Structure 1
Amino acid sequence: MGEGAYWIGIGDIHDDTRAIDRLPGLAAAAGVVISGDLTVKGGAPAARAVIEAVRRHNAVILAQIGNMDKADVDSYLSGEGVNIHATGRVTPQGVGFFGCGWSTPTPFGTPSEAGEERIAAWLDAAHAAVAHCPHLVMVCHTPPYGTATDVVGGGTHVGSRAVRAFIERVQPAVCLTGHIHEARAVDAIGATTVVNPGALAGGGYARVTFDGRLLGAELLAFA
């Protein structure tokens, strides 16, 4: 089992491939994890441009659809062998990544929204794929309700109660999330570190580290 591995976590890219080229540490990372919203209401061609931009720096990608991505993005990611929405995979380093894309309903009628029960079912399916692994990273586009990672203007919490309940029950080491751009923050639910790097164009990203025994996560920024 390798020691000193790290992954770069990003989300809410929204077609801005220039920001990808400014991210530090991509080439040396064990992989790049995309929590959702590759595009702005775009389909597979727009998503392909983002994936190809990441691949110029690192060939190991785990990604999933966000609420701003059209349905064919999910099919495209599956075809590329990088999709973790409603599934998971254990890396060669022994870390289990599992994902849930889309988002709970928004006021904006974005392309890929789902109710709490469906989000909960996807999380259960994703977790089942890696439940045997003792080192877990949950990648969920919608942040858990009632944390620093789901607050919009005025202090209103708009995250998912199903996501929070899942974290409380399963306690993965790390939850990488996004969706709420203004809620760039780190918080904790029990033993789970929750990180929302915000929109990539704003300069935020996460770094998930694994020393062979323990997983950690931090929120970082680039210019």
Structure 2
Amino acid sequence: MTRILFVTDVHGSEYVFRKFLNAIPIYKADVGILLGDLAGKLLVPIVKNPDNTYVSTFFGGTYKFKEKELDDVKKRISIAGYYPIIVTKEELDEIERNPELKDRLFVENIKARLRSWIKLAEERLKGKNVKIFISAGNDDPLEIEEVLNESDFVINVGMKKVWVDEHHEMITLPYSNPTPWNTPREVPEEKLEEMIEDLVKKIENMENAIFNFHVPPYDSGLDLAPKLSKDLTPSVSEMIPVGSVAVRKAIEKYQPMMGLHGHIHESKGFCNIGRTICFNPGSEYGEGILKGVLIDIERGKVKGYSFVSG
């Protein structure tokens, strides 16, 4: 039997990633899978004043503090998945005037945090008979691929087939169907179907296969999100399916052993599509909460599963 800890949509949260690493030995998992979205949402400038005090606006408030409090403030910002940067007032003005500079700083901070995560995973788990698989999601800039490919322990599985154990193959799709947010890795359903078909060709035994696809299948219960108004305001009462038709079609057609999905934070759960059992552990990264699912697999079978939170 192989035990998998599956987590998704950490969005830059230092706490959630560290909890993911800590949970692997606690739950005696053989495999840890982290399926996008890895990047946080925004930069948070911390302005250094001439009198060596600092001021920053985050979580709906503006705070002024002294240098001895700086590390604590940076930690609070990082827990939520944001990227604190120390700047002068003049540097901040330049960043605000220059969108290209802002974008470059954002990507540099995403890559730096991701590189630190991979180093931490190697320090804590390398040599302990554990496999760690990682992939981007639709929110992640393409530039992070170079960081994901740097390690020989934390394996980048995006658009690849890997062996989870000696019996189970896994293909990974780090893209999604279109969203209202115009994220870096979203493509039309027709293109998504082509990408899935190219991946499926690599599978040797579909009965034992795992589809590790960031976006969940359409109308599966794993893809329910608040309906948006024309100005993108989310409804507080109406949920609609927003998953991928191409992903659903592929699961119905090929009937792999298991589907692993994320993308829709509100839709924690599981469903069956024919013989395939699909999971979405959900995400509460903004609160620093780890949401995951432990899955025990044997040859061609899901023997048991348990949703975990910490």
Common fold: TM-score over 0.5: yes
1:66 matched to 2:110: no
The 5 A counterparts of 1:43-62 are: 43-59=110-126, 60-62=131-133
Greater Rg, structure 1 or structure 2?
2
Code of the residue aligned with 2:17 in structure 1: it is: I
CA distance in 2, matches of 1:25, 1:93: 23
CA distance in 2, matches of 1:55, 1:114: 33
Moved over 6 A (4+): none
Q: 1:96 aligns with which of 162, 169, 174?
A: 169
Unaligned runs of 5+ in 2: 42-106, 227-237
Partner amino acid for 1:104?
A: N
What is the alpha-carbon distance in structure 1 between the residues aligned to residue 15 and residue 199 of structure 2? 31
Structure 1 residues 40 and 95, CA, compared in 2 at 3 Å: closer, same or farther?
A: same
Alpha-carbon distance in structure 2 between the residues aligned to 1:219 and 1:106: 30
Greater fraction helix: 2
What is the CA–CA distance in structure 2 between the aligned matches of 1:159 and 1:56, rounded to whole Å? 36
Match among 249, 258, 269 for residue 174 of structure 1: 258
Q: Does the C-alpha gap of structure 1 residues 200 and 54 become closer, same or farther in structure 2, counting only changes over 3 Å?
A: farther
Alignment of 1:37-48 (within 5 A): 37-40=37-40, 42=107, 43-48=110-115
Say which SS state the counterpart of residue 26 (structure 1) adopts.
Answer: helix
Residue in 1 that maps onto 2:14: 17
Instruction: Work out the number of aligned pairs and report it.
Output: 220
Q: Which residue of 1 aligns with 2:188?
A: 115
Q: Taking structure 1 as reference, are residues 53 and 116 closer, same or farther at Cα in structure 2, changes over 3 Å only?
A: farther
TM-score by length of 1: 0.88
Counterpart for residue 296 of structure 2:
209
Cα distance between partner residues in 1 of 2:280 and 2:304 = 11
Q: How much identity, in percent, do the aligned residues show?
A: 23
- How big is each residue's C-alpha offset from its partner over 1:66-125, in whole Å with a ceiling of 9 and x where there is no partner? 111110223332343512222211234321111100221111122222121222222222
Cα distance change of structure 1 residues 148 and 164 upon mapping to structure 2, 3 Å threshold: same
Q: Distance in 2 between matches of 1:180 and 1:137?
A: 19
Contact 1:185 1:219 in 2 (8 A): no
Aligned to 1:26: 24
For residues 112 and 202 of structure 2, the distance between their equivalents in structure 1, rounded to whole angstroms, comes to 29
User: Which blocks of at least 5 consecutive residues in structure 1 are unaligned?
Assistant: none
Is the 8 Å Cα contact of residues 151 and 183 (structure 1) preserved in structure 2?
A: yes
- The CA RMSD measured in Å over matched residues stands at 2.2
Q: Which letter maps to 2:253?
A: R
